[in-house]
């Protein structure tokens, strides 16, 4: 027997994902995750039997619903779907896929479009934070065309401004969940910070690399990847996330100096180097750069103006506008802004086959519960 579910494929920022209305998916988490695995074609290295692209940047899902929270228009739940492993992880967040939430919500009738610019207030269920998205809607219609260019994406598009509000500690409850701005993890200094997403930042020099290598070179460095994963597992434990073997957070970051107002970053997803950079990860890296006492703060001698920080990555750079407030030792990230673009690729129905073999994903019942907002 064949059934179908409404689906929109959008490129958001430097990622591509499937966007669903929450009402169209099963309420039960296990049933929902089985549907998402089948839709993506997981587990398979090419995801040839589904809509995934065989890469973590194209194996993503956004689940959208009307919000019942005061001041919010829609709720956004992000899910990272495994490729070779039957895992659906709702613990991380994705700021790139978030770029498509506003346009999707408007076009699906969840938010009324305004003439000119429509502001959509999005509650991110994963990180328990609010993001204000500014969408270009001339004539009360979403436009994807424009002259804005972002590194890591060919062509140009209409600017989408994302203002992340009060983003810190969404996953761990604290900006510095280890209660230290620098930790010694197995002889390597690291900054463990939960800005828009939990990350572990280590120095490229400490790992014997320059920090400006292309993503493919780092992926091919097996000893480096094994060392990075070992450090990540311990960082996850210290950050209160428990055993993160089957989780994509915390994300590992290799950082190196890049001059005033900038930092070189290689961001891992976590077992491959991102060919550009995640937005949420860029916010966490930028925040660490702007806060005294962190590993990245010490990589730059000039901190005269940390209101805009450039994160250099394999495809170029991403700029983060920060409003960091200090009260003695207390630090608060009031706002982090970034400009993205999005492109609507396909709208239609994706087919599910009830006879599809689910033996490979039955192990989900034994996985730790990847509950929303954890």
Same domain as 206, residue 113 = no
Same domain as 187, residue 203 = yes
Same domain as 17, residue 145 = yes
Same domain as 192, residue 103 = no
Q: Domain containing 220 — which CATH number?
A: 3.10.310.10
In a domain, 163, yes or no: no
Closest CA to 275 of 212, 214, 199: 214
Same domain as 301, residue 214 = yes
- Residue by residue, pLDDT tens for the chain (374 residues) are 678 999 999 999 999 999 999 999 999 999 999 999 999 999 999 999 999 999 999 999 999 999 999 999 999 999 999 999 999 999 888 989 999 999 999 999 999 999 999 999 999 999 888 999 999 999 999 999 999 999 889 999 999 999 998 889 988 999 999 999 999 999 999 999 999 999 999 999 999 999 999 999 999 999 999 999 999 999 999 999 999 998 999 999 999 999 889 999 999 999 999 999 999 999 999 999 999 999 999 999 888 778 889 999 999 999 998 999 999 889 999 999 999 999 999 999 999 986 444 443 344 434 444 434 33
Helices (H), 121-186: none
- Count: domains in the chain: 2
Please say whether the beta carbons of 20 and 348 come within 8 A.
no
C-alpha 172/C-alpha 170 separation (Å) is: 6
Same domain as 192, residue 140 = no
In a domain, 243, yes or no: yes
Please say whether the beta carbons of 215 and 266 come within 8 A.
yes
Two tokens, residue 279:
């937005």
Residue 81 domain boundaries: 2-158+343-366
Please say whether the beta carbons of 92 and 248 come within 8 A.
yes
pTM for this prediction: 0.77
Output DSSP code: residue 148. Answer: B
What local confidence, expressed as pLDDT, does residue 354 receive?
67
């Amino acid at each position: 027997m064949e059934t179908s579910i409404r689906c929109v494929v959008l490129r958001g920022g430097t990622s591509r994902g499937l966007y669903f209305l929450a009402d169209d998916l099963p309420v039960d988490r296990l049933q929902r995750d089985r549907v998402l695995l089948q839709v993506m074609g997981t587990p398979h290295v090419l995801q040839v039997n589904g809509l995934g692209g065989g890469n973590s940047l194209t194996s993503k899902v956004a689940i959208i619903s009307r919000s019942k929270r005061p001041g919010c228009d829609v709720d956004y739940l992000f899910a990272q779907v495994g490729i070779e492993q039957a895992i659906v992880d709702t613990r991380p967040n994705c700021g790139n896929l978030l770029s498509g939430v506003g346009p999707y919500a408007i076009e699906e009738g969840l938010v009324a479009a305004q003439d000119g610019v429509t502001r959509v207030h999005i509650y991110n269920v994963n990180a328990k934070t609010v993001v204000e998205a500014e969408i270009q809607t001339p004539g009360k219609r979403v436009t994807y065309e424009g002259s804005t260019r972002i590194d890591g994406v060919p062509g140009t598009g209409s600017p989408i401004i994302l203002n992340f509000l009060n983003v810190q500690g969404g996953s761990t409850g604290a900006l510095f969940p280890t209660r230290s701005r620098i930790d010694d993890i197995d002889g390597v200094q690291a900054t463990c910070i939960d800005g828009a997403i939990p990350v572990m930042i280590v120095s490229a020099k400490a790992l014997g690399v320059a920090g400006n290598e292309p993503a493919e070179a780092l992926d091919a460095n097996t000893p480096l990847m094994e060392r990075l994963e070992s450090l990540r597992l311990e960082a996850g434990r210290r950050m209160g996330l428990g055993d993160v073997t089957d989780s994509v957070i915390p994300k590992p970051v290799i950082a190196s100096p890049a001059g005033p107002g900038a930092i070189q970053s290689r961001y891992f997803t976590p077992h491959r180097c991102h060919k550009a950079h995640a937005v949420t990860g860029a916010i966490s890296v930028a925040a660490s750069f702007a806060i005294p006492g962190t590993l990245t703060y010490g990589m730059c001698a000039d901190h005269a103006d940390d209101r805009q920080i450039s994160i250099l990555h394999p495809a170029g750079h991403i700029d983060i506008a920060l409003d960091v407030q200090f009260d003695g030792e207390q630090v608060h990230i009031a706002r982090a802004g970034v400009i993205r673009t999005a492109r609507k690729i396909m709208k239609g129905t994706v087919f599910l086959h009830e006879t599809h073999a689910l033996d490979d994903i039955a192990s989900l019942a034994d996985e730790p519960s990847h509950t929303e907002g954890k």
